[in-house]
């Protein structure tokens, strides 16, 4: 799904606000390390609250670890055996309204981030199956976070 510059900014702002709430309310989870799923869940709660009254986003589904493409397993060219993104904002049942995909990585996980970056790239590719409008790679550090935005520049309106 191709998003406008304004929609991308709005999603980035909501994500930043949800991450700020995560760090403001759940720093004890962050500091424990190894709690990626718990942190993803808490982030999802904050994100949901931020979009509840949003005319554009409130009717979309938020899912964590959602690995389905219809009734089949999500697969990409680089992940033919299956893949499950950490966080998705989409409409279940089709790939026409895939809005946002996020991969979270904590400071405790020292693996190369290119694996996660390539996963997000596959999901935002507008010439592939899923065509998410925006992908984010979120690095959860002990005292803050870093967000990398990933989208298909060739399909976007100049964002």
Distance CA 30, CA 36 (A): 8
Beta strand pairing status for 134-141 and 98-106? Answer: parallel
pLDDT digits (tens, 9 = 90+) for 45-58: 999 999 998 889 99
DSSP type of residue 121: H
Least confident interval from 14-23, 26-35, 89-98, 148-157: 148-157
Is it the case that residue 158 has pLDDT exceeding 50?
no
Q: Which secondary structure element, helix H or strand E, spans residue 115, and what is its range?
A: helix 114-124
Mean pLDDT, residues 3-26 taken together: 96
pLDDT digits (tens, 9 = 90+) for 57-96: 999 999 999 888 888 888 888 888 888 899 999 999 899 9
Residue 102: exposure state from Cβ atoms within 10 A (0-12, 13-18, ≥19): buried
DSSP type of residue 154: T
pLDDT digits (tens, 9 = 90+) for 92-137: 989 999 999 999 999 999 888 888 999 999 999 999 999 999 999 9
- Please give the pLDDT value at position 155: 61
Distance CA 84, CA 101 (A): 10
Distance CA 121, CA 136 (A): 9
In contact, 2 and 133? CB cutoff 8 Å: yes
- Please give the pLDDT value at position 110: 86
In contact, 137 and 101? CB cutoff 8 Å: no
In contact, 144 and 107? CB cutoff 8 Å: no
The residues with which 61 forms a beta bridge, in sequence order, are 90
Which two structure tokens, joined as six digits, stand for 123? 């999901």
């Amino acid at each position: 799904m191709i998003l406008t510059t304004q929609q991308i900014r709005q999603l980035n702002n909501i994500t930043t606000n949800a991450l700020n709430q995560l760090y403001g309310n759940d720093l004890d989870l962050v500091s424990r390390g190894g709690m990626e799923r718990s942190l993803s869940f808490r982030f999802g709660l904050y994100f949901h609250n931020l979009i509840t009254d949003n005319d554009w986003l409130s009717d979309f589904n938020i899912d964590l670890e959602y690995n389905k493409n219809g009734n089949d397993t999500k697969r990409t060219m680089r992940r033919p055996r299956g893949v499950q993104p950490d966080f998705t904002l989409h409409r279940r049942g089709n790939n026409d309204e895939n809005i946002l995909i996020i991969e979270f990585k904590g400071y405790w996980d020292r693996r190369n981030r290119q694996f996660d970056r390539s996963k997000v790239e596959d999901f935002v590719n507008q010439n592939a199956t899923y065509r998410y409008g925006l992908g984010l790679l979120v690095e959860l550090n002990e005292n803050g976070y870093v967000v990398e935005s990933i989208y298909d520049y060739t399909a976007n309106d100049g964002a």
